[in-house]
């Protein structure tokens, strides 16, 4: 995955795509820092694709939070800039699970774990997260599960 991003960066540089170059360089710098952390902890030097995806989701979430903050702060030009950056990052994210499919997975997890109260959320999350991987966000899963439990 990292090689794909580096290739896209080279292409963006050749085509003089300033925003894309900036976003991809920034993302690669974050990956490099994560690799240094991993190496420092005496682990492997390279990040796995799964670890890269986690970092990618984290960077995308930062952009989403910034967009929301800039809109609340009446700074549309900064929100627009963050939206462009988010669109670039989204191209590397896996296709999100359709909400209907996610609801079905959560319903099955609730039945399987016997969850009936909000305090059982941990059980549900532990059952659902490995199934959906990076195709659904934790807050989205949590919201749907809470809605199902509160009925």
pLDDT tens profile 17-27:
999 999 999 99
What gap in Å lies between CA 114 and CA 108, rounded to an integer?
A: 10
* pLDDT-derived band at 98, boundaries 50, 70, 90: confident
In eight-state DSSP terms, residue 95 is: P
Per-residue pLDDT for 119 more than 80? yes
Percent of the chain with pLDDT over 90: 43
Read off the pTM. Answer: 0.73
Helix, strand, coil fractions of the chain, as percent rounded to 5: 80, 0, 20
How far CA 133 is from CA of 47, 52, 112, in Å, comes to 17, 13, 19
C-beta of residue 145 within 8 angstroms of C-beta of residue 107: no
**In what helix (H) or strand (E) does residue 128 lie, and over which residues does it extend?**
helix 121-132
- Listed in order, the ranges of the chain carrying CATH 1.10.10.410 are 99-149
Per-residue pLDDT for 45 more than 80? no
Top-confidence residue, 40 or 59: 59
Per-residue pLDDT for 146 more than 90? no
Across 4-126, where does the E strand assignment appear? none
- Listed in order, the ranges of the chain carrying CATH 1.10.1510.10 are 2-90
What gap in Å lies between CA 44 and CA 37, rounded to an integer?
A: 10
What gap in Å lies between CA 25 and CA 112, rounded to an integer?
A: 44
3-state secondary structure of 43: coil
What gap in Å lies between CA 62 and CA 25, rounded to an integer?
A: 16
C-beta of residue 118 within 8 angstroms of C-beta of residue 147: no
Per-residue pLDDT for 72 more than 90? yes
How much is the pLDDT for 25? 95
**Given this structure, which CATH class describes domain 2-90?**
mainly alpha
The CATH architecture of the domain made up of 99-149 is Orthogonal Bundle (1.10)
Percent of the chain with pLDDT over 70: 99
Region 5-23: mean pLDDT is 93
> What is the pLDDT of the chain when averaged over all its residues?
89
């Amino acid at each position: 995955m990292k090689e794909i991003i580096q290739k896209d960066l080279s292409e963006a540089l050749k085509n003089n795509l300033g925003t894309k170059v900036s976003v991809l360089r920034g993302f690669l710098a974050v990956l490099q820092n994560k690799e240094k952390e991993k190496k420092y902890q005496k682990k492997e030097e390279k990040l796995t694709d799964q670890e890269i995806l986690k970092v990618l989701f984290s960077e995308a979430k930062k952009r989403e939070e910034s967009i929301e903050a800039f809109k609340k702060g009446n700074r549309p030009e900064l929100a627009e800039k963050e939206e462009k950056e988010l669109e670039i990052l989204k191209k590397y994210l896996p296709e999100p699970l359709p909400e209907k499919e996610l609801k079905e997975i959560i319903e099955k997890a609730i039945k399987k774990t016997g969850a009936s109260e909000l305090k059982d959320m941990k059980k549900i999350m532990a059952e659902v997260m490995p199934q959906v991987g990076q195709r659904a966000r934790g807050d989205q899963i949590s919201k749907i599960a809470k809605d199902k439990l509160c009925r």
